[in-house]
Homo-oligomer: A and B are copies of this chain.
């Protein structure tokens, strides 16, 4: 999973924000996203590894936020679920003897780093609570 990771995680987290006192099951969450529950659990595993949610196994188990939605920024979620914003790389190794081929990926990477910084600044200003309040 790569394409939907951020979107799925933020969907999960928005639901958890809306029901801050309940342990929501992966099946319930999967129903809202329309996604297989196993994939929801995988994303939750990632969020757990970053300590922003906690789960309870067994009957009546599920997942809840482990910190306040007002203390979670979208930048944190971005960092947890996205490698870096980028506009892509060509898939194959470019020709190493060509002056352009030799440096293209390095130069693209520098550009993308610059873009990421701008995106991060923006996302730091939005909390999960802010985002959830739109619903």
State in angstroms the CA–CA spacing of A126 and B82 once bound together: 25
Size category of the binding interface on chain A: 35 or more
Cβ < 8 Å to B, chain A residues 1-40 = 2-8, 10-11, 14-15, 18, 31-35
Q: Indicate with 1 or 0, residue by residue over A100-135, a CB within 8 angstroms of chain B CB atoms.
A: 110110011011001100110111001000010011
> A118-B119, A122-B118 are known contacts. Are A100 and B11 too (CB-CB below 8 A)?
yes
> A14-B100, A118-B119 are known contacts. Are A88 and B7 too (CB-CB below 8 A)?
yes
State in angstroms the CA–CA spacing of A110 and B109 once bound together: 26
> A7-B87, A82-B87, A87-B7 are known contacts. Are A100 and B32 too (CB-CB below 8 A)?
yes
